[in-house]
Chain A
Amino acid sequence: MIEVKNVTKSFGDLTVLHDISAVFESGKTNLIIGQSGSGKTVLMKSVIGIHQVDEGQILYDGRDLAKMTKKEVGILRREVGMLFQGSALFDSMTVEQNVRFPLEMFSDKSKQEWDDRVAFCLNRVGLSHAAKLYPAEISGGMQKRAAIARAIVLQPKYLFCDEPNSGLDPKTSLTIDQLIHEITAEFDITTIVNTHDMNSVMEIGDKVIFIHKGYKGWEGDKDSIFESGNQDLEDLVFASNLYKKVKKYHNLK
């Protein structure tokens, strides 16, 4: 579980996050949603520790990120998996080498155990057949799946996903969403997904935190969005014609 308590973050004179508090629960897919420029990426980067917050606390299972020593941060990093918007696979390595890399850097287990773990992760994301291919040789969806395999290879307690569906078609997006959701529940990971894809919100939003102009606008789950009563959230979620019709249908029911 990750707790964010009264976090404020500014860049120069511009305050990007205002007194944000939230609880990201383990075994659940926690979504941070908001318009572009709302501060959701800054919130995620603050939680990861890329940005230092000006005020407030970030607690990883009770451990205060700001009070951790360099060594403790190093240990925490090994408990964190990250899925980047552009996958961020290492170009010079095959899919298998990408997945193996964190093990080579941090695991003291035997090579046989590494092989088994890599094979398991690739199998879990359905990429066993592409193990020997380079990132440039596989599709965007496969790259995302390879990045998920790399992110979970060290059995992380926390998984961060930055716009995981960016650049993917709806069907592949759904596959990636479901994979993230399944893995989160299966391995009891605290997953935080930064997205503005409303299909993802409706598909995997166990918990949704809506950030609007740097403030927390709303918090709930995917099913309670319809009754949120928050105009800013509704403007975002039901912006497309499709979702306007979905809402209309829901209201009729």
Chain B
Amino acid sequence: MNFFEHVGKYSRLMAGVFTKPQRWGVLWKQYLKEIEKQGLQSILLTIIISIFIGSAITMQMVLNTENPMLPKYVTGLTTRETLLLEFSSTILCLILAGKVGSNIASEIGTMRITEQIDALKIMGVNAENYLILPKILGFVTIIPVLVIFSMFFGLLGGYIIALTGVLSPSQYVMGIQYAFNPYYVTYSVIKSLFFAFIISSVSSYYGYYAYGGALEVGKASTNAVVNSSIIILLFNVILTDLLLV
């Protein structure tokens, strides 16, 4: 299938997704479930990877800023900028594309091959809207929380490294406060909203159009992760150009 066919099918799917829900109460219930499934169940992973990456970045910055001409707080400052600008939005979303994206694609793909989506349609349910809209809304809602968590725990990871004696904790704290630009947090959150939409919608697309058997669901899941990741990286460049440069 060529690129334009994918774009056409994706657009048609999204047109079906963004219609008025048949029952607002059902949408609300599904939406809360998705927040719990995609967001709350990703918090632990977010915390763990953020602490480790924050720690690693801090150690690398210590090594790279050993020049006596540079003030000691530069380590904290560069760690903060790396986390805020790139890790806590882009890299975190690439990791979540693996977890959340594959989960969405395999869930919807399984529903497709076991005729559950056909069952919904024959009942008269708008299957696109019922299945996909809560996933998109849920993930877009919860992603800023995950990004803020990631920033906090990433910086905490750096602080833990500072406590081991690699650098002075006070210099680190001074560095993460120095010349702080709050817009970087806004920029990161805005990016993550786009990325969350990409992950949930692209993964839903691959799951929704899966056909065949279990093998195809696996392929749909892989395609969802790979393509979400590529689109995220493309949009990272575009959004950075639009929001930061």
Contacts and interface: CB of A to CB of B under 8 A. Distances in A.
Contacts of A222: none
A3 to B, nearest CB: 20
Interface residues of A, number: 20
Nearest to B33: A92
Contact of A102 (B25, B111, B114, B123): B123
Q: Is the interface of A mostly helix, strand, loop or mixed?
A: mixed
Given A104-B26, A105-B22, A105-B26, A77 B115 contact: no
B119 interface: yes
Q: Is the interface of B mostly helix, strand, loop or mixed?
A: helix
Interface string B114-147: 1110110011110000000000000000000000
A58 to B, nearest CB: 15
A53 interface: no
Interface in A158-188: 160
B interface bracket (residues with beta carbon within 8 Å of A): 10 to 19
B116 A91 contact: yes
Contact of A77 (B25, B110, B114, B123): B123
A78 B26 CA distance: 17
B124 A78 contact: yes
B186 to A, nearest CB: 36
B116 A77 contact: no
Interface string A77-103: 110101011101111000000000010
Nearest to B125: A105
Contacts of A233: none
A12 interface: no
Contacts of A77: 122-124
A84 B115 contact: yes
Contacts of B125: 105
Interface of B: 22-23, 25-26, 110-111, 114-116, 118-119, 122-125
16 contacts: A50-B122, A74-B124, A77-B122, A77-B123, A80-B122, A82-B119, A82-B123, A84-B118, A84-B119, A86-B114, A90-B111, A90-B116, A91-B114, A104-B23, A105-B26, A160-B122
Interface of A: 48, 50, 74, 76-78, 80, 82, 84-86, 88-91, 102, 104-106, 160
Given A48-B122, A77-B122, 15 more contacts: A76-B124, A80-B123, A80-B124, A84-B118, A84-B119, A85-B115, A86-B115, A88-B114, A88-B116, A88-B118, A91-B110, A91-B111, A105-B23, A105-B125, A160-B122
